[in-house]
Amino acid sequence: MPTRRSFVRIACVLFTFTLGLTGAASAADDSREAPDPLPSWNDTPARSAILEFVRVSTTEGSPGFIPPEERIAVFDNDGTLWAEHPMYFQLAFAIDRVKALAPARPDWQDKEPFKSILAGDLKTALADGERAVVEIIMATHAGMTTDEFALAVSDWAASARHPRFDQPYTACVYQPMLELLACLRAGGFKTYIVSGGGVEFMRPWASRVYGIPPEQIIGSSGKTQFELRGGSPVLVKLPQIEFIDDKEGKPAAINNRIGRRPAAAFGNSDGDLAMLQWTAAGDPAHPGRARLAMIIRHTDAQREWAYDRESPIGRLDKALDEATSRGFIVVDMKADWKKVFAFEK
Amino acid sequence: MPTRRSFVRIACVLFTFTLGLTGAASAADDSREAPDPLPSWNDTPARSAILEFVRVSTTEGSPGFIPPEERIAVFDNDGTLWAEHPMYFQLAFAIDRVKALAPARPDWQDKEPFKSILAGDLKTALADGERAVVEIIMATHAGMTTDEFALAVSDWAASARHPRFDQPYTACVYQPMLELLACLRAGGFKTYIVSGGGVEFMRPWASRVYGIPPEQIIGSSGKTQFELRGGSPVLVKLPQIEFIDDKEGKPAAINNRIGRRPAAAFGNSDGDLAMLQWTAAGDPAHPGRARLAMIIRHTDAQREWAYDRESPIGRLDKALDEATSRGFIVVDMKADWKKVFAFEK
């Protein structure tokens, strides 16, 4: 007779086969131990919490059971699904775009922050803080059609490499989180990204990398303008912010776009706190349903980075203080993850 | 050997059975004619265009074939899926809310447009046009939590009745469009609402009435504010417009929320023109894929209403002028629909 854990394992694996998400092995065989759905997770309480959540939420008759259509899981991206150091990858993209666009923009040679970027002096370029970042993002994300922008992102994702790991940025995704995404989908969960990053920056590669389709990616956005060019409609990206999908904006966006309270939420910083609170509180109409709110804590300077309360990128302070009282599960990257990146030896 | 049409019929019906969308009959039987997927449509070119579109887009190897994940169909709501006369149903809801909320708002007794609404004089109440409408909407849609608002909409949908038909408003949906929704879903299309109406006004009843889940409903929205009340998170509706999902806003919202170009779009007014243009132009990366852009023209004063170029509600003018050159299919309600509403005798 299977134990509870092996039941969840079998369920995850069978679903995974059914959905065709893996072709690594032949059909499951009842007589042998089912493959581990979370092989990159150590056998710690964090891993148990995930497997228990999947078991309870998908077992009909269990008090925590969640009807399939209500199985919504939301993931922050930067620092939760992929790395965010030494700078947000979208900023790395924008800086690479400044260099690529410079020949057509002679005015940038004498204008900050572009001048310093082109001189290779990032420290000076970004000395102005958020204002400089917004200026770089606007200058490199606007003034073209949405189709042109998607192409620029795809080209960058295929060619740019992370400075520390010498890997494509899209390879700097956390292997344990890919397994978690697959395990939740195997349990019938619809997985969403709810990120402060730009929605149009994520879509060109996120489907391939995370298995999350474009319509399940929510992010910050700039305004677009519909135009007929020679009779053909295009959407032109304007240098104006439409929505910042961060902090209190995250539950607001979830409500506006999904229209359901998530059953599971995953984040890594105070920017995710409101989303974690919103999820952990549960749906007042169905208080008994299982829910899972999880914080990925960066504790591994050797394999990744170690940062939390004092970090300018991915600051994790208030959310950590509230973890115990609100029932957030804190994942300690160093202790809980057997492997961080797939490319690790 | 089945004809092309009966092939499409069989495909629609088989899909419908598979997806469990109907339990009205027992398993399909190859030896008898498959049930008509569009029984409320007359046998006219509009109906043929729909069936041909479904056949071509879902037949592997056909030049118009659309991969399943790209099968996106977007529907306007007011005047396309349900009626919009004598006033937008959301305005009828708001007016009913003014009456329901009046006991707690003694100040409304002397303040327009509320005073006239409470006196039963809608003409005076709405004399100020759009400004009055916005004021009524804001006063009745804001200042409560999203959960409270959803409850108010559900209560109204269950009790309010359309003045002409003496039916619940949610029964004043077009039977031919319900069949079209089911037929497209049977062909693997993901059906979305993209409406100028409020997203939170549509969600409480649209899943039940149209079979469209909350995350596939896009609409106009007000801002919300995340708050902790006694430690519990709520979203409070603010009296501020966040987004108007109309005209050029429709393709912008489709791009922002869905991130794919729709293969099919259905509208009834100039407010849908940009969405129809965007869809009819097709995806530049896949110009051969089938697409369908359709206008529902209100031509039946007896069973519904007859209005187009001069109507203040659902004005259809420019979109009609462009129909031929852009390949929009125009549905003539009177000629093309055997039945308008399910409640018709």
**DSSP letter for each residue of B128-163:** TTHHHHHHHHHHHHSSSBHHHHHHHHHHHHHH-B-T
| The predicted structure's pLDDT at residue B333 | 98
Contact residues for A224 (Cβ-Cβ < 8 A; gap 6+): A146, A235, A236, A237, A238, A242, B252, B255, B256
Mean pLDDT of B284-300: 96
Is residue A2 very low, low, confident or very high in pLDDT (cuts 50, 70, 90)? very low
Best mutation target, B248, B256, B270, B279, to test chain A (most A CBs within 10 A): B256
CB neighbours of residue B104 within 10 Å = 7
Could you list the beta-strand ranges (E) of B90-231: 190-198, 217-229
Residues of A in contact with B248 (CB under 8 A): 225-226
Best mutation target, A255, A291, A322, to test chain B (most B CBs within 10 A): A255
Q: Do A256 and B221 touch (CB under 8 A)?
A: yes
Q: How far apart are CA B256 and CA A224, in angstroms?
A: 9
Mean pLDDT of B324-343: 98
**Phi, psi (5° rounding) for residue A292?**
-145, 120
Give residue-wise pLDDT tens across range A113-139.
999 999 999 999 999 888 999 999 999
| The predicted structure's pLDDT at residue B158 | 98
Q: Which of A22, A344, A342 has the alpha carbon at shortest distance from A170?
A: A342
Q: Do B147 and A213 touch (CB under 8 A)?
A: no
Q: Do A256 and B278 touch (CB under 8 A)?
A: no
More confident position, B278 or B11: B278
Q: What's the gap in Å between the CA of A243 and the closest CA on chain B?
A: 9
Q: What's the gap in Å between the CA of A226 and the closest CA on chain B?
A: 6
- Candidate from A24-33, A160-169, B82-91, B309-318 with smallest mean pLDDT: A24-33
Q: Do B228 and A277 touch (CB under 8 A)?
A: yes
Q: How far apart are CA B123 and CA A91, in angstroms?
A: 55
- The alpha carbons of chain B give a radius of gyration, in whole angstroms, of 21
Question: Are the CB atoms for B331 and B46 separated by under 8 Å?
Answer: yes
- Residue A5 in this model has a pLDDT that exceeds 70: no
Q: How far apart are CA A48 and CA A57, in angstroms?
A: 14
Best mutation target, B227, B257, B272, B318, to test chain A (most A CBs within 10 A): B257
Would you say the C-alpha torsion A204, A206, A211, A215 has a positive or negative sign? negative
Residues of B in contact with A224 (CB under 8 A): 252, 255-256
Q: A162 to each of A126, A152, B70, B264, how far by Cα in Å?
A: 19, 17, 32, 40
Q: How far apart are CA B334 and CA B42, in angstroms?
A: 10
| The predicted structure's pLDDT at residue B297 | 98
Answer whether B276 touches A (CB < 8 Å): no
Q: What's the gap in Å between the CA of B217 and the closest CA on chain A?
A: 8
More confident position, B7 or A43: A43
Q: A52 to each of A12, A290, B169, how far by Cα in Å?
A: 12, 10, 44
| The predicted structure's pLDDT at residue A158 | 98
Give residue-wise pLDDT tens across range B86-135.
999 999 999 999 999 999 999 999 999 999 999 999 999 999 888 999 89
Q: Among all residues of chain A, which has the CA nearest to that of B237? A: A252
Question: Are the CB atoms for A239 and A165 separated by under 8 Å?
Answer: no
Give residue-wise pLDDT tens across range B132-157.
998 999 999 999 999 999 999 999 99
pTM here? Answer: 0.92
Q: How far apart are CA A51 and CA A13, in angstroms?
A: 12
Answer whether A101 touches B (CB < 8 Å): no
Q: Which residue segments constitute the domains of chain B, with CATH numbers given? A: 4-20+30-83+171-336 (3.40.50.1000), 89-159 (no CATH)
| The predicted structure's pLDDT at residue A162 | 98
- Residue A178 in this model has a pLDDT that exceeds 50: yes
Q: What's the gap in Å between the CA of A146 and the closest CA on chain B?
A: 8
The residues that bridge with A306 in the sheet, in sequence order, are: A299
Question: Are the CB atoms for A182 and A9 separated by under 8 Å?
Answer: no
- Angle, helices A175-186 vs A45-58, to 10°: value is 20
For strands B306-307 and A217-229, give the pairing.
unpaired
Residues of A in contact with B240 (CB under 8 A): none
Take residue B20 and report the two structure tokens written for it: 């469990």
Of A221, A258, A260, the CB nearest to B256: A221
| The predicted structure's pLDDT at residue A24 | 39
Answer whether A240 touches B (CB < 8 Å): no
Take residue B255 and report the two structure tokens written for it: 């791009």
Q: How far apart are CA A158 and CA B66, in angstroms?
A: 26
Can you give A39-101 as a three-state secondary structure string? CCECCCHHHHHHHHHHHHHHCCCCCCCCCHHHCEEEECCECCCECCCCCCHHHHHHHHHHHHH
Q: Do B252 and A284 touch (CB under 8 A)?
A: no
* Percentage, residues of chain B above pLDDT 70: 91
Q: How far apart are CA A85 and CA A164, in angstroms?
A: 9
Residues of A in contact with B260 (CB under 8 A): 214-215
- Candidate from A1-10, A53-62, A306-315, B74-83 with smallest mean pLDDT: A1-10
Q: Do B278 and A203 touch (CB under 8 A)?
A: no
Q: Do B281 and A223 touch (CB under 8 A)?
A: no
Question: Are the CB atoms for A78 and A196 separated by under 8 Å?
Answer: yes
For strands A292-299 and A329-332, give the pairing.
parallel
Q: How far apart are CA A242 and CA A234, in angstroms?
A: 18
Q: Do A259 and B224 touch (CB under 8 A)?
A: no
Give residue-wise pLDDT tens across range B254-275.
999 999 999 999 999 999 999 9
- Residue A13 in this model has a pLDDT that exceeds 50: no
Of A69, A215, A257, the CB nearest to B260: A215
| The predicted structure's pLDDT at residue A22 | 37
Residues of A in contact with B73 (CB under 8 A): none
Question: Are the CB atoms for B273 and B249 separated by under 8 Å?
Answer: no
| The predicted structure's pLDDT at residue A26 | 42
Mean pLDDT of A146-168: 98
Take residue A16 and report the two structure tokens written for it: 């995974």
Single-letter amino acid code for the residue at B29: D
| The predicted structure's pLDDT at residue B345 | 83
Of A214, A228, A251, the CB nearest to B259: A214
Q: What's the gap in Å between the CA of A246 and the closest CA on chain B?
A: 12
CB neighbours of residue A35 within 10 Å = 15
| The predicted structure's pLDDT at residue A345 | 83
Q: Do B259 and A226 touch (CB under 8 A)?
A: no
Question: Are the CB atoms for B323 and B277 separated by under 8 Å?
Answer: no
State the residue for tokens 């940062």.
Answer: A307
Helices and strands (DSSP H and E) totals, chain A: 13, 8
3-state helix, strand, coil in chain B (%, to 5): 45, 20, 35
Q: Which of residues 7-66 of B touch A (CB under 8 A)?
A: none
Q: Do A233 and B258 touch (CB under 8 A)?
A: no
Q: Do B233 and A69 touch (CB under 8 A)?
A: no
Question: Are the CB atoms for A296 and A267 separated by under 8 Å?
Answer: yes
- Residue B11 in this model has a pLDDT that exceeds 60: no
Q: Do A257 and B221 touch (CB under 8 A)?
A: no
Q: What is the DSSP letter of B22?
A: -
